Amino acid sequence: MRAGVIVTRPPPGLAPTMAAVAARGLHPVAAPMLRVRQCALSIGTFRPDAIVLTSGQAVGSLTDPQLHDIPCYVVGAATARRARAAGFVHVTAASGTADDLTALLQAAMSPTSRLLLAVGQGYGQDMAVALRGQGYRVLRRCVYIVRPATCLPPDAVAALQAGQVAAVMFYSTRTAEAFIAALTPALASLLVAVEAIAMSDGVAAVLGAGARWDGIRVAARPDQDAMLDCLPHDAP
């Protein structure tokens, strides 16, 4: 019975997605394809007018209570929930993409504002450059480091080999790249009977170039509800 859904996102988003998949009557299988390590935040004497988060992974390093009263602009609803749970009082969410977040900042903050852009290593350079070009004073800080997993977890391998997997969910290009890189030829050959669920067209492009699937579905919006709507309703 193909009722299995492999979830490739890392914690802390992994657990709520697993629960949401289970609530739809499917069997979630954890396969976090990224390893995330938090880094200490140091901003010296810089005092931001706003904090900008492109991912919920950044929230774990923003533990100083003095930061929590500063307006916080985030990429989407899931990151907003994490920020509020961590203690941020004034949180405003964009619609799910970096471009949406940039547009939100342009509408809400004057061009001379001081922005703390808290991102992962290797992320956020283009946004920082674009905002600085518009006059914003941007301090970009790496607050977490992401490394790809090198192999699929045993439970995911077993589910694929047993023909139990209906779909695999991918929330980012990095998880998609890590998953494809971790496949053995034997595992890759099994994906022809499995659907890929992609957060965006960019994620779908990585998946389509890296493996043969039964199909690739792209979420109508870059959020979890739209991802879940792509899952099979009646697994055979």
pLDDT in tens, 99-141: 999 999 999 999 999 999 999 999 999 999 999 999 999 999 9
Residue 67 in any domain: the answer is: yes
For residues 142 and 169, the answer to whether their CB atoms sit within 8 Å is: no
Residue 156 in any domain: the answer is: no
CATH at 96? 3.40.50.10090
Q: What is the pLDDT of residue 236?
A: 45
Question: What mean pLDDT is reported for the chain?
Answer: 94
How distant is the alpha carbon of residue 205 from its chain centre? 16
pLDDT in tens, 161-215: 999 999 999 999 999 999 999 999 999 999 999 999 999 999 999 999 999 999 9
Residue 82 in any domain: the answer is: yes
Give the pLDDT band (50/70/90) at residue 43. Answer: very high
What is the span of the domain harbouring residue 80?
A: 36-147
Residue 47 in any domain: the answer is: yes
Q: What is the pLDDT of residue 124?
A: 92
Residue 160 in any domain: the answer is: no
| 96 pLDDT higher than 90 | no
Residue 167 in any domain: the answer is: no
Residue 93 in any domain: the answer is: yes
Distances (CA, A) of 69 to 74, 87, 181, 198: 15, 9, 42, 35
165 or 223, higher pLDDT: 165
pLDDT in tens, 59-71: 999 999 999 999 9
The residues with which 50 forms a beta bridge, in sequence order, are: 115
Strands 114-120 and 137-148: parallel
Give the pLDDT band (50/70/90) at residue 1. Answer: low
pTM of the model: 0.81
Number of domains forming the structure of the chain: 1
| 235 pLDDT higher than 60 | no
The residues with which 177 forms a beta bridge, in sequence order, are: none
Q: What is the pLDDT of residue 12?
A: 85
The residues with which 169 forms a beta bridge, in sequence order, are: 7, 197
Q: What is the mean pLDDT of residues 138-165?
A: 96
Percent of residues, the chain, with pLDDT higher than 70: 98
Is the four-CA dihedral 188, 191, 192, 198 of positive or negative sign? negative
Give the pLDDT band (50/70/90) at residue 234. Answer: low
Residue 178 in any domain: the answer is: no
